[in-house]
Amino acid sequence: MQTMAHVAFGVYAFIILAGAILAVASASLVRALVGLITTLLGVAGMYLLLASPFLAFMQLLIYVGAVSVMIFFAVMLTHAQTGGDESAPAPVRKFLLAAAGAAVPALVLGGLLYHRGVSGAAKPAVVGVEKLGTGLLGAYVLPFELISVILMVAMCAAVLLVWEKRGKRK
């Protein structure tokens, strides 16, 4: 069983890595979005490996189902060019800056992980969905209710922002 878990971890890590590279490097935004969805699926697999299947389902529902569709709408509404919005060659300076910006947290956090890493348990704790529900309605009821308020406000704000008054259309 332990070897199977390692193999599954390797497969999911590969899926995540490939998706992230596609999402960051591809010229076409639609392909970048496909890469993002691949990464999200890989992360859902990691949640399954961590013995939290509820989170894996939520990851599929919220991210793969809702957020990526919303980004597809963003691509559509902004008239993305077929050749790819990012097809023009990037300046080398910007590429170097981006590499430096990514390398600094990689070095700092990676070094911390390497030297001061916590050796956790070998097996993840198993928590049932009923425990999560009790937590949501018990100790963490205020953030749970606030999330609904935030979603409501975000929806109203989105509708208001893109509202077009009648007659003002160009």
Partner 1 sequence: MSPLTLYQLVGLMLLCAGLFGIIRRRTLVGMLICVELMLNGAGLSIVAAGQLTEASAVLGQLATLFVMGLAAAEATLALAIIVVVFRRFGSVKTSDITTLKE
Residues in 99-128 at the binding interface with partner 1, rule: CB under 8 A: 99, 101-103, 105-106, 109-110, 113, 117-122, 124-125, 127
Residue number, 7 or 113, with CB nearest to partner 1:
113
Residues in the interface with partner 1 (CB under 8 A) total: 80
Taking the mean position of all CA atoms in its chain, how far away is CA 36?
7
Residue number, 7 or 51, with CB nearest to partner 1:
51
Closest CA to 133 of 124, 125, 142, 141: 141
Q: What is the dihedral of CA 18, 20, 24, 28, to 10 degrees?
A: 60
CB of 148 to partner 1, least distance (A): 9
Rule CB under 8 A: is residue 15 a binding residue for partner 1?
A: no
Tokens representing residue 15 in the block: 């899926």
Rule CB under 8 A: is residue 7 a binding residue for partner 1?
A: no
Rule CB under 8 A: is residue 137 a binding residue for partner 1?
A: no
Rounded CA-CA distance 29/4 in Å is 35
Rule CB under 8 A: is residue 85 a binding residue for partner 1?
A: yes
Rule CB under 8 A: is residue 11 a binding residue for partner 1?
A: no
Rounded CA-CA distance 143/150 in Å is 10
Rule CB under 8 A: is residue 3 a binding residue for partner 1?
A: no
Residue number, 7 or 13, with CB nearest to partner 1:
13
What Rg value do the Cα atoms of the chain yield, rounded? 21
